[in-house]
Every structure is written in structure tokens, then in C-alpha cells.
């Protein structure tokens, strides 16, 4: 497995991962290539978007870290990081998330972040368990979602 920063040419592969997650009921947001490019790879508030690929270059998953700005759509405190982790359903439980988080944590430290927010839908039990396993802790529960924080200080 290879972990590397994403490139614009990764948008179709990221879209494929998002579409597969939608198909199994783990995602409800858009999944098209344009969405992948604009929201993850070339987001103006992006700090890092890393992909995990197999040796042939097929994207198995990705993790995006954004900077929360004033009025952000997530309602996260400005100056915090906002993380999103997406692993293809056929590649779950292969250690991809942990390896992606190593790269993301390094980027967060370089970006002088103190906290990273992960907001997970309450039906996503795998996502909730993943974030707990890498050190995120629940700080708020909303209707339908659980918000976790990773403290970098």
C-alpha cells in the first residue's frame, strides 16, 4: 500500500470510493468527480488530502484535512482542522485508516493545528470505532451525528 498526497488526476478514483460508500449506505453526500476535486483535492481551505493506493495505483481510500474557517458548513470552531476519512468498502479492515492518519496528523502538526474535528453520522458504527481507535474522543452529540475531537497539544 502506498500513502501519498492526492493529485487532481485522483478525482475519478476518489469518486469511485465515495460512490461505493453510497451504495452500501455509508454516505449520503455527492460522490461525483467534480465534488471530489472541489471538496477534497483542490479545496481552498485544504491542508492535506492523502490517498492510499494499491501497487497498481488503484485508490483504496483517502483522508482529507481542512481548516475550519468562519462560517464553515460543519459548524466547527474556526482554526480547528476538519477531517474526513473514506475507505472503499472492499478495503475496510486493512489498516488503511491508520496509515492515512499518520500522514494527516503530520500535516496537522506542520499546520500548527491544536484540534481536529471528526463529525460522524451515528449510523456509521465503523467510522465511530475507527476515530476512537486513533485517539479521537466524543465532545458533542447532535441529532444524527457524533462529534469527536483529536487534541494535538
Q: From its phi and psi, is residue 112 left (phi > 0), alpha (psi between -120 and 50) or beta?
A: left
Which pLDDT does position 123 carry in this prediction? 86
Q: How far apart are CA 123 and CA 112, in angstroms?
A: 32
Which pLDDT does position 78 carry in this prediction? 95
Which pLDDT does position 30 carry in this prediction? 87
Grid cell in block for residue 35: 465534488
SS3 81: strand
Q: How far apart are CA 45 and CA 39, in angstroms?
A: 9
Which pLDDT does position 29 carry in this prediction? 85
SS3 145: strand
Grid cell in block for residue 62: 483517502
Which pLDDT does position 10 carry in this prediction? 98
Q: pLDDT 10s per residue in the chain (153 long)?
A: 999 999 999 999 999 999 999 998 888 888 999 999 999 999 999 999 999 999 999 999 999 999 999 998 888 999 999 999 999 999 998 999 999 999 999 999 999 999 999 999 888 889 999 999 999 999 999 888 999 999 998
Which pLDDT does position 1 carry in this prediction? 93
Q: What is the pTM of this model?
A: 0.93
Grid cell in block for residue 124: 456509521
Which pLDDT does position 14 carry in this prediction? 98
Q: How far apart are CA 152 and CA 126, in angstroms?
A: 23
Amino acid at each position: 500500500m502506498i500513502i501519498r498526497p492526492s493529485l487532481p488526476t485522483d478525482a475519478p478514483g476518489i469518486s469511485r470510493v465515495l460512490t461505493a460508500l453510497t451504495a452500501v449506505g455509508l454516505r449520503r453526500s455527492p460522490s461525483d468527480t467534480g465534488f471530489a476535486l472541489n471538496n477534497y483535492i483542490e479545496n481552498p481551505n485544504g491542508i492535506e488530502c492523502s490517498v492510499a493506493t494499491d501497487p497498481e495505483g488503484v485508490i483504496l481510500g483517502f483522508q482529507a484535512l481542512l481548516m475550519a474557517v468562519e462560517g464553515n458548513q460543519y459548524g466547527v470552531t474556526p482554526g480547528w482542522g476538519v477531517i474526513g476519512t473514506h475507505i472503499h468498502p472492499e478495503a475496510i479492515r486493512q489498516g488503511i485508516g491508520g496509515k492515512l492518519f499518520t500522514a494527516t496528523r503530520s500535516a496537522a502538526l506542520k499546520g500548527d493545528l491544536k484540534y481536529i474535528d471528526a463529525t460522524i453520522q451515528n449510523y456509521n458504527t465503523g467510522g465511530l470505532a475507527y476515530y476512537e481507535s486513533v485517539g479521537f474522543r466524543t465532545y458533542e452529540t447532535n441529532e444524527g451525528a457524533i462529534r469527536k475531537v483529536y487534541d494535538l497539544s
